[in-house]
Amino acid sequence: MRATVVFVVALVLVAACMRVAAEDAAPESPKPQARKLRSLFQACRDDIKRLCKQRRGVLNCIEKNATNVENEVCAAWLKARAACKADVEKSSCATTPFRACLMKLDTDSLTTDCSESDFYKSVRRTRNLINKRRAAAGAGTTGTGGGAAAGSSDSK
């Protein structure tokens, strides 16, 4: 019995040593990349905490404090949002909600500050995800009319 225990312990030690040796010999893996930012709020998290103490009206607050933003990524997202807002204000759908109008516009009608930005790509990704979910929900309903109701709010 004692010999079996000693053998098992020795086997575990050898396996651990082999694993450490293999890890030491392995080429260094690249550092993990930071998660891709999916929203202005993620890009501006630290600046929002610092500049916007109220929980309501955070977007308005961070836009008004754009000159006080310290994070370069946040500043880039805010600059892109401002460019997209300017493009929307010049468009024929300017009276509709900002994001809805932005998604109706052809990328050729947008400035590159808007259309090539991470902000715009994020809005586009979100719109595509919403459309996929609506399509899936519409396909999953049978005769209840739920599919039409799910997509009707964006058709204005």
Query: Domain extents for the chain?
Result: 37-137
**pLDDT over threshold 90, residue 63:** yes
Q: In angstroms, rounded to a whole number, what is the distance separating the alpha carbons of residues 151 and 133? A: 10
Distance, CA of 153 to chain centre? 23
Of 151 and 70, the one with more pLDDT: 70
pLDDT at 6: 52
**Mean of pLDDT values over 72-91:** 96
Which pTM does this prediction carry? 0.65
Name residue, tokens 């090539």. Answer: 116
pLDDT at 152: 38
Quick one: tokens of 133?
């979910």
Name residue, tokens 């993990």. Answer: 32
**pLDDT over threshold 60, residue 94:** yes
pLDDT at 91: 95
> What b-and-e string marks burial along 82-97, b requiring 16 or more CB atoms within 10 Å of the CB?
ebbbebbeebeeeeee
